[in-house]
Structure 1
Amino acid sequence: MTTLTTILRGNVRQYGMIIALAAIVLLFQRTTEGVLLKPINVSNLVVQNAQILILAIGMVIVIVARHIDLSVGSVAAFVGATGAILMTNYDVPWFLAVVICLAVGALIGAWHGFWVAYVGIPAFIVTLASMLLFRGLTLVILEGKTVGGLPENFKKMGNGFLPEVGPDTDLHNLTMLLGVVVVAVLVVLDLRRRAAAKRYNFEVLPFPLFALKQVVIGAVVMEFAYLLADARGLPIVGLILFALIGIYTFVMTRTVFGRHVYAIGGNVDAATMSGVNTRRVDFLVMTNMGLLAGLAGLVTTARLTAANPKAGVNFELDAIAAAFIGGAAVTGGVGTVVGAIIGGLVMGVLNNGMSLMGVSIDWQQAIKGLVLLAAVAFDVWNKRRTAGSGGAGAEKSEATPPPPAELVEEIEQLEHESSAESGVGRRGS
């Protein structure tokens, strides 16, 4: 019991929002008389919130690096409008237009990165200026009108689903297969993380509780896959989103760049003295945010089947809220991609649940604001609690705080790099 208590205290940020998300889902499942978790509604949740979740992935990296980006909604609208004009007015093939638009988004992000990293203007000011600039340019290139008539293949990016394969089982077989693969990957990764933690004498969950955790996570993933398979299958935008989650989780936890982002966010002076090229990292962080904003703009245009001058309004606020609700620290240095996704899902479920209950948009905005304030207040309270008590588990001298998953993975990576360098040294001698 002591070990479990210590681990829960040491990972209160990680588990807190998961518990909150589960509670919100159960609440709305009850108040909407089961409509929330109907297959078609779950499918709609993924499609309707994908662009915010894509932005949240980039935003949490920006916030970890102690910056902010207020321009993502306007950039998304501008890139989406650019793509629509290329495909309709200039007959550019849709796949080529997508590549061009992603490049435009990356260039806009690089523009932000130049001013932030090399000129030294705060990201808040740079992106605030771009929010106004690209919202105006969107109105200019669209001439204040909605541009439709987009290619069907492009519209599938926002509204399409994976194809049917295999025998007729009354379910979408490919979606169920992907669910099984995801569960297997998560179990293997957690087993490796557990083994690494034990090698370094960190506290780990007793095996029965560890096994129970895997069963619960596996059941949740498979239930989610079943609900999607019982509707129309996994949306194409959902596949894009899950691929991004995997890629960026790997980048932030298993690469030198990811470690540098956390180092800069934690203490930029210490990172600089350690040899980290802080300007280059900041430049790449802002460039990446522009790229993901461009992708979100394309997804939004595809889902709406048209480019609209008002597209992307308040996207930046939703993405920032998702990152903070998911555990990102206001001061930087703390936050995860998975946490941002959980925060985005909290916002998405709140929107959907309140809409199903008939709550007016005015009250929806007010409630979401209170949720964001509560999440940040919890973060501040938790920091003060751990600082005042000497950290999680400090009340018992023999209790060892459990390591964050990122720390275990970083130690493994450093050990692997050290072994590789030793091997090179031996071969050279």
Structure 2
Amino acid sequence: MPVTRKSLWSSLFGKMDVRAYTMVGALVLIWVLFGFLNPTFLTSRNLSNLFTQMSVTSILAIGMVLVIVAGHIDLSVGSIVGLTGGIAAILSNWLELPAIVVILGTLAAGAVLGLIQGWLVAYKMIPAFIVTLGGMMVFRGVLMGVTESKTIPVSDSVLALLGNAYFAQGFGIIIGLLAVGMLLWTAYNKRRSRQKYGFEIAPLGVDVMKVSALALIVVSFVAVMNNYKGIPFPIIFVIVLAIIFYILSTKTTFGRHIYAIGGNIEAARLSGINIKKKTMLIFVLSGLLASIASIVLTSRLASATITAGNMAEMDAIAACVIGGTSLMGGAGTVIGALIGALVMTSLDNGMSLMGLESFWQYVVKGSILVIAVWLDISNRSKGVK
């Protein structure tokens, strides 16, 4: 079957939102710019810190993608990070419970908070904006009350490792080899499957280019991380969760139902999809991921504070939108959200290194968010025409 220019483009770039690829180019430009203005930016030490810093936003964005794709919003994740972080510190410091109990208790608390909000949205038909806006204030207030507005230190050595440890260089090399091997196997398996069922197959050179480019990124990442202390532990959280939720959103019935609900809720209802149950579940997952982010953040800071997670929901939403997730629902990817999170963190990190006052970070990130939404609306308007 002949390969047209359109099919070649589709083979080269896949189904991922074109804007996500555009953001990859923008990310490269941001790194080049900050590297030129401050050579410290591109050092292994700073890039390691940058990836560690993006872990919290990335974890929240992974959960936020499903919420936004389903046509909702979750403004409470930042406060859930703060409250569950406070719960972790209380369980560890005040009650002196083992690390495993602290972790399980924190995860359970996040899931329960998400369950309550999801139930109100799905079964009581209260708009998600209102429910989560209220949750944002309630959870922050509860945090201030239970901690008496005090900073609670966390000294458990196991918990400290979760946000501050680095994997040995040998582990990074093994991870890199496994990732490259998986890329090769996935590309081979995809070609064989398409050939078996008679679908169009991209030229071998195109697949080689794609795999080579991705392999180069993996190898470069491992090399840069190993040049400092090794791969930061929080990044492993991000990678594992990204893989799980990528599979969940693209390879499962649950994921297809979420996209169907966000794309056309009436059609989804007529198709027999249990919309209420699926809606409640996405908020449970969002709360669970927020509690994971809180463990990472609390470990990194070695304490829980009443300001922990403040404005984190805005960064997560911005990361999703910048990465191609539509606020109108029905479109968005986990990979795109991670790219958006890296863009947001790179801007924060770069402007901090340049010594710019903090208000510039809000101005720049807010402007980028508005532009990203404007592009989404413009693209959808062209599609309607």
Alignment correspondent of 1:2:
5
Distance in 1 (CA, whole Å) between partners of 2:198 and 2:283 is: 38
1:307-386 alignment, distance < 5 Å:
307-386=304-383
**What amino acid maps onto 1:146 in structure 2?**
T
For the 8 Å contact 2:77–2:290, the answer to whether it is kept is: yes
| Deviation string, structure 1 residues 368-404 (Cα, Å, up to 9, x no partner) | 111112222222222333444xxxxxxxxxxxxxxxx
Shift of the 194–228 alpha-carbon distance from structure 1 to 2, 3 Å rule, reads same
| Deviation string, structure 1 residues 335-374 (Cα, Å, up to 9, x no partner) | 0111111110110111111111222211111011111122
Which segments of 5 or more consecutive residues in structure 2 lack a partner in the other structure? none
**What amino acid maps onto 1:241 in structure 2?**
V
Distance in 1 (CA, whole Å) between partners of 2:295 and 2:193 is: 40
Match of 1:55 among 60, 72, 75: 60
Match of 2:22 among 11, 16, 31: 16
Distance in 1 (CA, whole Å) between partners of 2:155 and 2:21 is: 43
For the 8 Å contact 1:86–1:92, the answer to whether it is kept is: yes
1:136-151 alignment, distance < 5 Å:
136-151=141-156
TM-score (norm 1): 0.84
After the TM superposition, which of the residue ranges 379-388 and 275-284 deviates more from structure 2? 379-388
1:9-48 alignment, distance < 5 Å:
11-33=17-39, 35-48=40-53
Q: CA deviation at 1:74?
A: 0.6
Distance in 1 (CA, whole Å) between partners of 2:5 and 2:116 is: 51
Distance in 2 (CA, whole Å) between partners of 1:9 and 1:188 is: 17
Structure 2 SS opposite 1:84: helix
Q: CA deviation at 1:201?
A: 6.6
Asked if 1:176 corresponds to 2:182, the answer is no
Alignment correspondent of 2:109:
104
Alignment correspondent of 2:164:
159
Structure 2 SS opposite 1:110: helix
Distance in 1 (CA, whole Å) between partners of 2:350 and 2:192 is: 40
After the TM superposition, which of the residue ranges 2-11 and 104-113 deviates more from structure 2? 2-11
Q: CA deviation at 1:317?
A: 0.2
Structure 2 SS opposite 1:36: helix
For the 8 Å contact 2:81–2:291, the answer to whether it is kept is: yes
Alignment correspondent of 2:82:
77
Q: CA deviation at 1:115?
A: 0.2
| Deviation string, structure 1 residues 287-337 (Cα, Å, up to 9, x no partner) | 111111111111111110001011110000000000100100111010011
How many aligned residue pairs are there? 379
Shift of the 380–251 alpha-carbon distance from structure 1 to 2, 3 Å rule, reads same
Match of 1:190 among 149, 164, 187: 187
Distance in 1 (CA, whole Å) between partners of 2:309 and 2:176 is: 31
Distance in 2 (CA, whole Å) between partners of 1:302 and 1:78 is: 14
Alignment correspondent of 1:131:
136
Structure 1 SS opposite 2:324: coil
Shift of the 23–209 alpha-carbon distance from structure 1 to 2, 3 Å rule, reads farther
For the 8 Å contact 2:75–2:132, the answer to whether it is kept is: yes
| Deviation string, structure 1 residues 268-289 (Cα, Å, up to 9, x no partner) | 1111111100000001001111
| Deviation string, structure 1 residues 237-287 (Cα, Å, up to 9, x no partner) | 111111101111111111111111111111111111111000000010011
Shift of the 186–380 alpha-carbon distance from structure 1 to 2, 3 Å rule, reads farther
Cα RMSD after superposing both structures = 1.9
For the 8 Å contact 2:89–2:304, the answer to whether it is kept is: yes
Shift of the 202–37 alpha-carbon distance from structure 1 to 2, 3 Å rule, reads farther
Asked if 1:300 corresponds to 2:297, the answer is yes
| Deviation string, structure 1 residues 17-58 (Cα, Å, up to 9, x no partner) | 22222222222222222x222111111112112111000000
Which segments of 5 or more consecutive residues in structure 1 lack a partner in the other structure? 165-171, 389-429
For the 8 Å contact 2:154–2:304, the answer to whether it is kept is: no
Distance in 1 (CA, whole Å) between partners of 2:205 and 2:38 is: 35
Q: CA deviation at 1:9?
A: 10
Structure 1 SS opposite 2:28: helix
Larger C-alpha radius of gyration, 1 or 2? 1
For the 8 Å contact 1:84–1:150, the answer to whether it is kept is: no
Shift of the 271–377 alpha-carbon distance from structure 1 to 2, 3 Å rule, reads same
Percent identical across equivalent pairs? Answer: 39
Distance in 2 (CA, whole Å) between partners of 1:106 and 1:83 is: 14
Structure 2 SS opposite 1:150: coil
Distance in 2 (CA, whole Å) between partners of 1:201 and 1:266 is: 29
For the 8 Å contact 2:20–2:339, the answer to whether it is kept is: no
Distance in 2 (CA, whole Å) between partners of 1:272 and 1:386 is: 24
Q: CA deviation at 1:204?
A: 5.6
Shift of the 199–64 alpha-carbon distance from structure 1 to 2, 3 Å rule, reads farther
1:166-315 alignment, distance < 5 Å:
172-196=169-193, 205-315=202-312
After the TM superposition, which of the residue ranges 200-209 and 13-22 deviates more from structure 2? 200-209
Structure 2 SS opposite 1:330: coil
| Deviation string, structure 1 residues 105-154 (Cα, Å, up to 9, x no partner) | 00000000110011100111001111000100111111111111421211
